[in-house]
């Protein structure tokens, strides 16, 4: 007599048998992802502000010379 085969549900299969493409991230991975996005956004804002102020400064100096 053969033993019954026990099949554990896979992480990629839902109860209905359809594919479930959900990915579960740990808290540390989520914190790293969100913090890196926020840091990159702040860097872009600061860099853009400095470039914009430099452009305005050159335009003001150009206007004063004419």
Q: What is the pLDDT of residues 7-61, one digit of tens each?
A: 555 555 556 666 666 678 899 999 999 999 999 999 999 999 999 999 999 999 9
Query: Which letter does DSSP use for residue 17 in this model?
Result: S
* pLDDT value, residue 65: 82
What pTM, to 2 d.p., does this model score? 0.57
Asked if the model's pLDDT at residue 66 lies above 90, the reply is no
Q: Where exactly are the structural domains of the chain?
A: 24-66
Q: Please tell me the distance from the alpha carbon of residue 37 to that of residue 31, in angstroms, as a whole number.
A: 10
Quick one: CA torsion of 10, 11, 17, 21, rounded to 10 degrees? -150
Using alpha carbons, list the distances in angstroms from residue 22 to 11, 19, 28, 30: 9, 9, 18, 15
Three-state DSSP at 13 gives strand
- What confidence tier does 5 reach under pLDDT thresholds 50, 70, 90? low
């Amino acid at each position: 007599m053969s033993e019954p085969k026990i099949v554990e549900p896979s992480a990629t299969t839902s109860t209905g048998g359809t594919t479930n493409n959900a990915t579960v991230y740990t808290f540390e991975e989520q914190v790293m992802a969100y913090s890196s996005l926020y840091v990159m956004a702040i860097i872009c804002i600061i860099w853009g502000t400095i470039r914009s102020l430099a452009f305005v400064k050159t335009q003001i100096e150009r206007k004063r010379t004419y």
